[in-house]
Amino acid sequence: MNKPKSKKMENQLTIIGSGPAGLTAALYAARGNLNPLVIEGFPAGGQLTLTTDVENYPGFPDGIMGPELMDKFKEQSVRFGAEIVNGEIAKVDFSSSRLRLFLDDETEIETKSVIISTGASAKMLGLEEESLLLGKGVSTCATCDGFFFRDQIVTVVGGGDSAMEEALFLTKFARKVYLIHRREIFRASQIMLDRAKANPKIEFILNTEIKKINNPDENKVTNAILHNKKTSGTTELDTDAVFIAIGHIPNTDIFKDYLDLNENGYILTKEGTKTNIPGVFACGDVQDWEYRQAVTAAGSGCMAAIDTERYLSNLK
């Protein structure tokens, strides 16, 4: 659905975000007659729309593609009456019990309750040239950009499951995949690490950080300057692309003036999915820095809808 025509709307429940948490909350809330309005955000469908095979979502023994799984989530919530709006919330005002949300086109939504499921975004290395080269050889999404590096040399940064997954995916296209990690101990699960290590196209470079990504004609990456933390040596690595897979930052910037966050910016919840503001609930990766799985996000979305239903019925 497109953005609402009126510049002011009122409703009972607005859900911000459309990943597994948000759309599960929408499904349960719609079935509870709360007529939820879901503001999709970007990317619509959340992080799973940027991934390929999902092998660990229960109910799909042969796995399912991330975008297809999210289409199914959406279809199921719409079937029970959830209204999905394509757009982003740019600002919120939680200073009174009239909870107010402002869409990026300045449409104002006054709502009795809010479920925040804005997820988390990819972390960057912090190099000067990184953002300039995004989409021109630097990427945070192998699924989106791997195809462009057929038969080329690519580099993945990180030591977690995301890095292993990106590296393995890239072996479908690239002729060589370097995996650079700043330590020699990994956060990745053993099964993912073993798969990456067993792949002959992947070469691990450990105890190493990227200091610079070179791009002589500004449109193409040619090499990266590496710093070995053990030897303090500097080397140059020929590579056509750098895929950054070093974790995520919760998308909580617009809430920080109102909600209690932890030191890393994740929303603090208590007694299920309640935040410090009555009527505002949070679920999924925006409040979960530990498990961060689609299935746990979906579970917490269900909890948020039940918590909201109880809150709204106590208001009446």
Candidates 31, 100, 212, 292; binder of ligand NAP (CB under 6 A) is 292
Question: Any catalytic annotation for residue 283?
Answer: no
Nearer to ligand NAP, 81 or 247 (CB): 247
182-211 residues in contact with ligand NAP (CB under 6 A) are 182-183, 187, 189, 209
| Strand, coil or helix: 287 | coil
Helix axes 294-315, 20-31, angle to 10 degrees: 40
- The answer to the question of residue 3 lying near ligand NAP (CB under 6 A) is no
Q: Which is nearest to 14 in space by CA: 280, 196, 313, 217?
A: 280
Nearer to ligand NAP, 136 or 187 (CB): 187
Which residues are CB-neighbours of 139 under 8 A, at least 6 positions away? 145, 241, 242, 243, 244
36: left (phi over 0), alpha (psi -120 to 50) or beta: beta
95-134 residues in contact with ligand NAP (CB under 6 A) are 123, 125
Can you tell me the distance from the alpha carbon of 30 to that of 59, in angstroms, rounded to the nearest whole number? 22
Can you tell me the distance from the alpha carbon of 186 to that of 240, in angstroms, rounded to the nearest whole number? 25
Query: Which amino acid makes up residue 173?
Result: F
| Catalytic choice (53, 93, 144, 302) | 144
Q: Token pair of 154, please? A: 């690519």
Candidates 20, 43, 159, 301; binder of ligand NAP (CB under 6 A) is 159
Q: How near is the Cβ of 208 to ligand NAP at its closest, in Å?
A: 9
Q: Which is nearest to 21 in space by CA: 287, 271, 258?
A: 287
Can you tell me the distance from the alpha carbon of 259 to that of 15, in angstroms, rounded to the nearest whole number? 16
| Strand, coil or helix: 281 | strand
Using CB atoms, what's the residue nearest to ligand NAP?
160
Q: How near is the Cβ of 225 to ligand NAP at its closest, in Å?
A: 14
Query: Of 38-46, 74-82, 107-115, 240-248, which segment contacts ligand NAP by CB under 6 A?
Result: 240-248
Can you tell me the distance from the alpha carbon of 154 to that of 281, in angstroms, rounded to the nearest whole number? 41
Question: Any catalytic annotation for residue 145?
Answer: yes
Nearer to ligand NAP, 35 or 233 (CB): 233
Q: Total binding residues for ligand NAP by CB under 6 A?
A: 21
Query: Of 85-93, 195-203, 221-229, 241-249, which segment contacts ligand NAP by CB under 6 A?
Result: 241-249
Nearer to ligand NAP, 67 or 247 (CB): 247
Query: Active-site residues: which are they?
Result: 141, 144-145
* Residues that bind ligand NAP in the complex, under the rule CB under 6 A: 56, 123, 125, 157-163, 165, 181-183, 187, 189, 209, 246-248, 292
